[in-house]
Each structure stands twice: as C-alpha cells, then as structure tokens.
Amino acid sequence: MTFRAKPVVKRDHRPSWESEGRRNLYLNLAFGAIVLLAILILLAAVGAGYYGDHFAAVATVNGQAISKDDLRDRVAVDGFRFDRQESFVQDQVSTGRLTQAQADSQRQSIASARQQMPQSSLDRLIDATLQAQLAAEESVTVTEQQVDERMVAEATRPEQRHIWAIAVQPEISPGATAPTDAQSSTARAKAGQALAELRAGKKWEDVAKTVSTDSSSTQGGDLGWTTKEGPYEAVFLDALFAATVDAPPDVIKGADGIFRIGRVSEIAAASTDPDYEQQISDSGVTLASYRKAVRADLLRTALSDKITTAATETATVQRRVSQIFLQGSPGATPVDEVKSSHILFSPNDDPSNASQVPADDPAWKKAEDEANAAYAELQKDPSKFAEMATALSDDTGSGADGGALPWFKEADVDPAYGTAIFAPGLQPGEILKPVKSSFGWHVIRFDERRPDAGLRMLELHDKATAPGADFAALAKANSDSADAAGGGSLGWVARDQLAKDLEDAIFATPVGSVSEITSTQAGYYLFKVEEEQTRKPDGDQLTVLERSAFSNWYAAKKAAATIEGGTVSSATP
C-alpha cells in the first residue's frame, strides 16, 4: 500500500483557560473604567454642589462677586449683634434704666430688624463691597489697629446718664413759618430766667412744669437714661456729657430754634467686657468674619468723613436758587384735584368708630339732623362756614382750620365724599347738600378744582420762562414746598447738597435762567438759577451738607455702579 503523508500545519495551540482569562481581564478593565467614570461624575457633582452651596455668587458689584459663604458669615455677624442688643436691653431693665414698656418697644424693633435678614445682610454686603471700591479710589484706608480699637469699643458698654430737660420754644405769629428775632430773644430770656432760678435752688420739677414747652414737662422734664449717641441733638448731649451731676450747663439753642436747659441726675460709668471675643466665637462667628464686618463699618465712616469734609470745608462752585415744587405722581394717569372744606357730624361724635355703628342706630339720624340744620343755617349766611366748622365739626383737626382740607384726588377720599366734590359744574364757595360717608354726615363747601400737577407744572414752566416773569410770585402762589412763602428761595446750593437728579438740573441751567421740569417720585420741580459763586458753605447750608453730603454722593455712585443679583431667594441659606 502506498501511503501519502498529510501536510503538517503548524497551529498555535493555547489552553482554554488562557483565553478565558484574557476575556475576564478586558471585562474587568471595562468595568473599572465605568466605575472610575461614575466616581469622576459623582465627584464633579459633589464639587459642583459644594461650589454652588459655598462659592456661587449671590450678587456682583462692578464685577466683584459676593458668595453664599460671604452672606452666611455676614448673617451670623448681624445675628450676634442683635443678640448683643437684646442682652443690653435686659441689663437696662434689670438696673432700672428702662421701663418694661420701653424695653418691649426696643425688643420689638430688634425683632423687626432681625426678620429682615438675610436680605438686610446682603444689602450691607453690597454697600460694603462698593464702598471698599470707592475708598480705594479716594485713597481711604483702615488699619488693623483701628479695627482693634473698634473691637474694644464694641466690647464696652458706653457711659449712660439720666438726663432732664426744660425747653422754651419761641412763639410764632399766625401764618409765619419761623419766629422773629424779637420772639427768639424773648424765649432765650425766659430760658435764662429759668436757669437762674434753678441755680438759686428752685426745684427742677417745679420749673419744668411751669416753664417747659416740651411734652416731657408733665414728668418734670425727665428724659430718662441715654448714651452720648442718644436720640437728642448732639450739641445738647455734648453739653450734658461734659456736665457734673445736678449742675445744669448754660442755655443751649438747638438747630430747631428751641432753647433748652439740661440736667444730669445720675451717671452709669462705661464698662468693658473682657470676654467679648470669646462670646463672638461661642456664637459660631469666626473672629475673621467679625473683623471683616468691623473693617467695613470703619471704612464707611472714614469715606463719609472725607466726602463730608470736602463738601463743608472747601470752597466750591455754588448756585443761588429758587424753586417751584408741585406734589404729584409722575407717570400716573393725570387726574384733577379738588380743594374743599367740611363740617362733619359723626354718630356719637366719633368719626373713628362711625363705620362700626349700625345704619339703623339713632346716632346716625341725630348726626343727619345736625348736618341738615347746619346746611340750612349756611344757606342763609355762607360766610359763617369757617366759624361753624370750628365750633361744630367732629373732625377737630380740620375744624381748627375752619374746616379746610388738603387737595384731594377722587380716589384718595371716601367714595361718597369724592362723588360729591367731583360733581361737574360746581362753583367756588358753593355749599353742597349733606353727604353721608363712612365717617358721618358732611356739610361741604366746594372751594376749587385744578388739573393734575404735571399739567399745572407745564403751564407754570411756560409762565416762568416768559419775558419779565416773576418767578418768586409764581412760587408764592403755586408751590407746595415749605419755602413758598419766601418766593421758593433755596439759598445757595452746592454739589452733594441735594439728590443728584435735582442737582444735575440746577447745574445744567444757565445762570439767570429757568430749568427744565424735573420729576421725581415726590413730584415736579422747576428751578430758577439766580447767580453763581465759588464759596464755602455756611449757615443752614452747612448744616444740610454735614447731614446729607455723603448720602447724596454715595446714592449717585451706587446708581452708577453695575450691581447684579442682590435679592435673596428662598433657596439661599
């Protein structure tokens, strides 16, 4: 037999277990990659959540972010400060320096302020951020030593004094807005005589009850306990905190023109709490966060001081200005206004509770009969209206002024009263038949009807810019501002003395000319620029600038800043 050899094929024979192992390796690698990817996704989610909870911006100020952590820190600081205030109130009650009623009132104020957090805290952060930027521009800085000193000051309960006052307010002639020099001199002399009697040994309470025009006179002039930063005029408190017990300083004239005599009966010395910083830490506030808030407070004060000093001590370009102001609501639909006078007859002579009296109660019929009788009398002699209003009206406020009421839009008064006084065809001086409102029965005299303030200001602008116009006379006859009696004179106006929109209108107007109409939320303004000088502020102008130069300057800076966010959502801790 012949055998043929089979070709030999070389094969790569491998055990089955080796192939299986490789497949498992690939599977394990793939699974590991999936697990790693899942971990990375989880870490990314955790990181994003952490960032969102801590570093995400709740507001930006000119591109500078305020994070959620910044807000949490500030809320904690503000909360600690409220706690501190409440503790101080309790101490005051314990030492008898506050009555329970006074303490409850202060606690209510603290609670109300606390309810505004965290929005109020965010508002402070926005201001602090912007003020830090402005301070850098103005080269204003705060040192660590200043922060240390403020921390000590905050740890110190300030000196308190039990103070008393006797006030003598000058008489003012009917129709005048300020006392004459003679009236002021008389008041000063009266206060001086009272001080002489006190120094001669007359009892304080007796002088206070017979001389003082202040509401505290019934308590012998007792104003209670106060710090040097209390709610009284600085010049008065400065004098009392420099005085000794039961040694009244000289008579002090306030910015309000009132002459005051002050007295100190007790002094509670200042005291510093050595554990203040520990209390901050124990409350959950870091010292770094607290010092940051203190630094912001100091920076605002330093910035304010610089701006105020520049406004009050430097000669600047100023303008002497008069104004016409009409109270109104720019942007609203123009509606007429009516001026009227009334004599009110309320059920049981009580306007405040008239709406609670049933319609069939005899008191309503009695009020109606009285109104009809008054109306019949006025039909015979309308000139008696003011006299009867003063004698008979249950609205004692308007009654004291002959029944005269302010200008009203129809929507601003009781519907029945509004329908009556806005009826078409009424003539000035016309006496209307009695009208029943929710306050009682009214006998009404229609006095005048006028267009909306915006339309009237357009007419006034045309009159004020006409050749030979008497701006002062127009102001006296039409302006709603307190200076109308003086022809609308504002005196000298410097930068940062008024709100920026009013200031811009004044300084954009050529000297000797009348401005364009400027509207604000309060109403409409028209200015006459009388002259321009470079001068330092003085008198009342200086007082105004000391009080408002920084706030006006800062309001303008804030309006020009780019602030995004700034509202705390319900999701923000």
Residues 114, 110: Cα–Cα separation, whole Å:
6
H-assigned helices in 465-564? 471-478, 500-507, 539-560
Tens of pLDDT, residues 387-422: 999 999 999 889 889 999 989 999 889 999 999 999
Mean pLDDT of 150-168: 94
Does 571 have pLDDT greater than 50?
Answer: no
Q: Does domain 160-269 have CATH number 3.40.1390.10?
A: no
The pLDDT score that the predictor gives to residue 456 is: 94
The pLDDT score that the predictor gives to residue 570 is: 42
Which of the two residues, 167 and 41, has the higher pLDDT score?
167
Report how far Cα 185 is from the mean position of its chain's Cα atoms.
35
Tens of pLDDT, residues 33-42: 777 776 677 6
3-state class of 406 per DSSP? strand
Other CB atoms within 10 A of residue 243 CB = 17
Report how far Cα 323 is from the mean position of its chain's Cα atoms.
24
The pLDDT score that the predictor gives to residue 19 is: 65
Mean pLDDT of 475-504: 93
The pLDDT score that the predictor gives to residue 567 is: 83
When mean pLDDT is compared across 22-31, 118-127, 351-360, the lowest value belongs to 22-31
Domain segments of the chain as ranges: 55-150+281-313+536-573, 160-269, 315-329+453-535, 337-450
Mean pLDDT of 145-169: 94
Does 70 have pLDDT greater than 50?
Answer: yes
Q: Does domain 315-329+453-535 have CATH number 3.10.50.40?
A: yes
Does 54 have pLDDT greater than 80?
Answer: no
The class level of CATH for 337-450 reads alpha beta
3-state class of 524 per DSSP? strand
Tens of pLDDT, residues 533-553: 999 999 889 989 999 999 999
pLDDT band at 569 (very low <50, low <70, confident <90, very high): low
Which of the two residues, 179 and 294, has the higher pLDDT score?
294
- The yes-or-no answer to whether 160-269 and 315-329+453-535 have a common fold is yes
Cβ distance 449 to 337 under 8 Å? yes
The pLDDT score that the predictor gives to residue 13 is: 52
> In the CATH scheme, what is the code of domain 55-150+281-313+536-573?
1.10.4030
Whole-prediction pTM value? 0.72
